[in-house]
């Protein structure tokens, strides 16, 4: 892969991959690391990408594996990184207000924070497809391809993720 | 809008990408890839002149975990996120060595080494951390003899003392065949004050019948001829006892049955071949080469500028420095002289102004003293 192709890959998928890394890592420093490692690894293993494989699925799959391998490192960092950083990041997170219609009124910071916290508490098995779908904006098929599981399993994991979060939020708000 | 739609919208909003990567982050990825590409290029280009190339360093900082003794090779691999390699170190292809040698202020331990066709089976189909059967992996640790901990990878002092750790092959010029030219690299982790280095390079098993050393020297991450001597007639490499720093050699206990002289021959042919030879060369390059040859012939009739005749000085990495009237040269002596070579260097630098040529050439006497001089070609 040459520099132009890489630049292209970053331009097209950089935002989705970064958002996914951020959600997964939980802080900017680790997100930056994971994002960078993902692209560097992608260059090394690009020959493994099937001709019909979606580049985004390929990149996200690499990010997931790197994060698994480096979990000890990330977990350790997270312990020393104050949670305030995350909350602050949440408060400053850009929200697409211009696209918001009156009925889906922009979520309050508090509610957004609660939803994010509930997602974070999910098991990896549910959390990863959730972030792939809502953060990296991947379709069921793309997620299935990246995780090498049947689309039906992706659907059921997303369903379970949503219902577990609902339960968590109900408990939080009562 | 029903509840399910609302919930869906809420999730989309709350979990939307929290931002874009900063421009400088993307730029740093592109820079690193460009750097890698250019390093590969330099490596191929420079190999013919026997110059050492930079080793790609992957430094990972990993938290220390409690342990009372050395970590084993497989545990080190796990710490570096190389799970498949960890399995390889536990496999029958691995050789557990655990041999220590003291040199300078340090104790070096070779823990284990693994390579071979068996590694292929350990790879998982969906893994990005593949290991290659055509590569050799080894774990070496560095500890201070006075018991003080080695700096953590996150400490500013980390890397201040650099080490060259590489296999060398008996009978092959060590400045030509070492970890750098054998497409090598390393990762490091510091655990309980001990620095562990996982090195990897092209498979050394094929040379098992010749004898393979593990060489360690300090002061530079590259091969340093100040630290080792090579005897052209016997093919033996020895550590120089007068070297001010670490200089040691250990024999790698490889399985001689795994030697493959034909494969080794083919590998060396590829490794040592002159780049571009036999292929179509750029006409401009050919013209330049011809002009340089022509200028070299004129050196004999040129006049040495007496003020320019100076003995070179050395920096801490063993590179020579020469400066005179706007000429400034800083390079490794191996670029100029092969081991044991004396007399004038083949390499000459020329400068031209208004059709007037000057050449910078180096001379090495029997005592090893290198002198630089500028020659006026008139």
Among the listed residues B13, B139, A67, the one whose alpha carbon sits nearest the alpha carbon of residue B5: B13
Measured in angstroms, the CA of A84 and the nearest CA of chain B are apart by 16
Which residues in chain B touch residue A119, judged by CB atoms under 8 angstroms apart?
14-15
Which residues in chain B touch residue A41, judged by CB atoms under 8 angstroms apart?
128
Measured in angstroms, the CA of A72 and the nearest CA of chain B are apart by 8
**Token output for B271:** 């490794």
In the prediction, which pLDDT does B284 show? 58
In the prediction, which pLDDT does A78 show? 44
pLDDT digits (tens, 9 = 90+) for B110-158: 999 998 766 766 666 545 556 777 889 999 999 999 989 998 877 777 7
In the prediction, which pLDDT does B66 show? 31
Among the listed residues B59, B51, B229, B244, the one whose alpha carbon sits nearest the alpha carbon of residue B153: B59
**Cα distance between residue B231 and residue B315, in whole Å:** 25
State whether residue A47 sits within 8 Å of chain B by CB.
no
**Token output for B265:** 């021959």
**Cα distance between residue A76 and residue B315, in whole Å:** 40
**Cα distance between residue B199 and residue B154, in whole Å:** 20
DSSP letters spanning B267-335 = HHHHHHSPTTTTS---HHHHHHHHHHHHHHHHHTTSEE-GGG-EE-EE-TTS-EEEEETTEEEEE-GGG
**Cα distance between residue B378 and residue B300, in whole Å:** 11
Among the listed residues B344, B304, B343, B349, the one whose alpha carbon sits nearest the alpha carbon of residue B326: B349
Q: What is the mean pLDDT of chain B?
A: 80
DSSP H or E run through B122: helix B119-122
Give the mutation candidate from B5, B9, B16, B126 for the A interface (greatest A CB count, under 10 A).
B16
Worst-scoring range by mean pLDDT, A69-73, A132-136, B168-172, B245-249?
A: A69-73
- The percentage of residues in chain B with a pLDDT greater than 90, rounded to a whole number, is 28
In the prediction, which pLDDT does B354 show? 65
- Which CATH number does the domain A3-93+107-173 belong to among 1.10.230.10, 1.10.10.10, 3.90.1720.10, 1.10.150.120? 1.10.10.10
The segments of chain A whose pLDDT lies below 70 read 1, 50-53, 70-107, 171-174
Greater confidence, B246 or B19?
B246
The number of CA neighbours under 13 Å toward the Cβ of A126 is: 16
CB B378 within 8 A of CB B359: no
Worst-scoring range by mean pLDDT, B98-112, B162-176, B270-284?
A: B270-284
Worst-scoring range by mean pLDDT, A96-110, B30-44, B215-229, B362-376?
A: A96-110
**Cα distance between residue B190 and residue B154, in whole Å:** 10
DSSP helix/strand/coil, A132 = helix
Give the mutation candidate from B128, B152, B183 for the A interface (greatest A CB count, under 10 A).
B128
B242, pLDDT greater than 60: yes
Q: Give the domain ranges of chain A.
A: 3-93+107-173
Q: Using the beta-carbon criterion (under 8 Å), do A72 and B128 form an inter-chain contact?
A: no
**Cα distance between residue B119 and residue B187, in whole Å:** 19
For B36, the closest chain A residue by CA position comes to: A40
In the prediction, which pLDDT does A96 show? 41
B219-245 burial string, b = 16+ CB within 10 Å, else e? bbbbbbbbbbbbeeeeeebebeeebeb
Confidence of residue B59 (pLDDT cuts 50, 70, 90): very low
**Sheet containing B212-218: which strands, arranged edge to edge?**
B163-169, B212-218, B247-251
B200, pLDDT greater than 70: yes
In the prediction, which pLDDT does B186 show? 81
Which residues in chain B touch residue A94, judged by CB atoms under 8 angstroms apart?
18-19
- Residue B357 is given by DSSP the state E
Among the listed residues B185, B248, B178, the one whose alpha carbon sits nearest the alpha carbon of residue B59: B185
In the prediction, which pLDDT does B141 show? 95
State whether residue A3 sits within 8 Å of chain B by CB.
yes
Which residues in chain A touch residue B84, judged by CB atoms under 8 angstroms apart?
none
């Amino acid at each position: 892969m040459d520099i132009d192709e890489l630049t292209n890959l970053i331009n097209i998928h950089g935002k989705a991959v970064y958002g996914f890394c951020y959600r997964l890592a939980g802080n900017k420093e680790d997100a930056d690391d994971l994002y960078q490692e993902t692209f560097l690894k992608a260059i090394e293993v690009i020959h493994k990408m099937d001709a019909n494989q979606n580049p985004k699925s390929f990149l996200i799959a690499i990010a997931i594996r790197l994060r698994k391998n480096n979990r000890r490192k990330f977990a350790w960092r997270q312990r020393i990184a104050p949670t305030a950083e995350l909350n602050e990041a949440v408060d400053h997170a850009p929200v697409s207000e211009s696209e918001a219609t009156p009925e889906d009124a922009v979520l309050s910071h508090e509610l957004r924070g609660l939803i994010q916290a509930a997602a974070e508490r999910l098991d990896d098995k549910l959390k990863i497809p959730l972030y792939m779908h809502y953060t990296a904006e991947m379709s069921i098929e793309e997620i299935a391809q990246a995780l090498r599981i049947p689309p039906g399993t992706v659907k059921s994991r997303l369903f379970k993720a949503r219902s577990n979060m609902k339960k968590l939020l109900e408990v939080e708000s009562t | 809008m029903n509840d399910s739609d609302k919930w869906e919208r809420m999730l989309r909003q709350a979990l939307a990408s929290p931002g874009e990567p900063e421009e400088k982050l993307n730029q740093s990825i592109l820079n690193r890839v460009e750097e890698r590409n250019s390093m590969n290029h330099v490596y191929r280009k420079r190999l013919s002149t026997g110059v050492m190339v930079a080793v790609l360093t992957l430094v990972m900082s990993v938290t220390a975990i409690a342990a009372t003794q050395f970590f084993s090779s497989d545990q080190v691999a796990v710490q570096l996120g190389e799970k498949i390699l960890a399995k390889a170190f536990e496999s029958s292809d691995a050789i557990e060595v655990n041999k220590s040698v003291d040199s300078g202020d340090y104790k070096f331990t070779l823990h284990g080494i693994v390579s071979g066709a068996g590694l292929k089976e350990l790879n998982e189909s969906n893994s990005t951390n593949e290991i290659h059967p055509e590569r050799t992996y080894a774990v070496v640790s560095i500890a201070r003899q006075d018991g003080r901990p080695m700096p953590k990878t996150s400490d500013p002092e980390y890397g201040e003392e650099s080490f060259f750790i590489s296999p060398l092959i008996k009978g092959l010029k060590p400045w030509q065949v070492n970890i750098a030219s054998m497409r090598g690299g390393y990762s490091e982790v510091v655990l309980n004050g001990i620095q562990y280095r996982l090195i990897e390079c092209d498979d050394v098993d094929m040379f098992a019948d010749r004898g393979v050393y593990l060489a360690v020297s300090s002061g530079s991450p590259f091969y340093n001829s100040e630290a080792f001597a090579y005897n052209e007639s016997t093919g033996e490499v020895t550590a120089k006892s007068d070297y001010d720093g670490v200089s040691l050699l250990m024999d790698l206990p490889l399985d001689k049955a795994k030697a493959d002289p034909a494969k080794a021959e083919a590998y060396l042919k590829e490794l040592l071949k002159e780049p571009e030879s036999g292929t179509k060369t750029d006409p401009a390059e050919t013209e330049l080469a011809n002009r340089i040859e022509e200028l070299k012939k004129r050196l004999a009739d040129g006049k040495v500028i007496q003020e320019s005749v100076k003995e070179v000085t050395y920096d801490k990495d063993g590179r020579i420095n020469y400066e005179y009237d706007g000429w400034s040269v800083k390079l490794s002596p191996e670029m100029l002289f092969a081991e044991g070579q004396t007399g004038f260097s083949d390499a000459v630098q020329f400068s031209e102004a208004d059709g007037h040529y000057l050449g910078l050439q180096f001379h090495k006497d029997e005592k090893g003293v290198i002198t630089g001089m500028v020659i006026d070609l008139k």
